[in-house]
Amino acid sequence: MNEGGLDELKTKLRQELRRFFNKKPLPLNVDRDDVDRTLLNALVHDVKKQRRLPGAPQERTAIHVGWLGGKSPAQWMKEAEENWPVASAQDHDVPASPMAHSCWSILGTLSLMVGSSEVPRLHAALGPVRMVTQRHTQRLIKWLLKENWVHKQQNHTPFSDAQLFKLREERLGFARLTLAMWPLRAQLASWRRANGDAPWNQALDDVFSVEEGRVMSTTLQKAVRDVHQRLQILTSGHEGCPLPTSAAELAVWWSMEPPNHSAS
């Protein structure tokens, strides 16, 4: 084989390997969301054990409750979009939108990581549903550090040069929200592509909209049930706020700000 043929073979092999690793085939005998919720439960169990230091903000609220910080989910989506530098993302070969699978996966998982993390630990916590290659994880974390979505942490482990990082507190609401809304990520991303200038608070009303006399698709019905079960794990994000149990209630929770006391 000549040199040109070898280069072509290497290129094809890289393409096939990339295609293979990016494939996310549906499992035959298990519900994907059920698998992911099991892993989220384990992460939340660790978060629930955390305690804020005396005098720290939100002292009376468990650290896993009130994660929406008094804002509506729609407000968090707007804020994330406005603070996602598209040109920089394109220059660094990372997603140009915070709606991408890898962004939701990595930011969402980081929102439930206790203490500082490093790429291997973060990657191991993704699980099969939120899986992203370790190489892409490394690249995205490097960019998130540059753009101040995460910040560096000092490594106190002797003889270790691993880079430690942690999600910034001001990004927690959006990051945790991605885990809650994971079953509807594709629909929300499609809605945004089709409605580039529309306000986020109307997103779920549009996604759930059906013609008179018709019912919502079984896919959307299942997604709503899955979101509800995720919120049972993560909480509603507002202290004292009940969980939405239907598509209509989910749309209200999505678009409306909570009562003032919920952010306390």
Residue 165's contacts (CB-CB under 8 Å, 6 or more residues apart) are 116, 117, 118, 141, 144, 145, 150, 151, 152, 153
Q: What is the pLDDT of residue 262?
A: 44
Residue 2 within a domain? no
The larger pLDDT score, comparing residue 115 to residue 260, is at 115
- Per-residue pLDDT of 11-53, as tens digits, reads 888 878 777 666 666 666 789 999 999 999 999 987 777 655 5
Has residue 109 got a pLDDT over 60?
Answer: yes
Residue 33 within a domain? no
DSSP line for 200-230: GGGHHHHHH---TT----HHHHHHHHHHHHH
From residue 174, give the alpha-carbon distance in Å to each of 49, 99, 105, 123, 143. Answer: 22, 11, 12, 20, 17
Helical pair 172-180 and 73-82, crossing angle rounded to 10 deg: 120
Q: What number of CA atoms fall less than 13 Å from residue 141's CA on the CB side?
A: 26
CA 245 to chain centre: 21
Residue 230 within a domain? yes
Residue 193 within a domain? yes
Residue 21 within a domain? no
Domain range spanning residue 231? Answer: 61-263
- Per-residue pLDDT of 148-177, as tens digits, reads 999 987 665 554 456 899 999 999 999 999
| Number of domains the chain is built from | 1
Residue 8 within a domain? no
Chain mean pLDDT for the chain? 87
- Per-residue pLDDT of 113-152, as tens digits, reads 988 889 999 999 999 999 999 999 999 999 999 999 999 8
Residue 4 within a domain? no
Residue 101 within a domain? yes
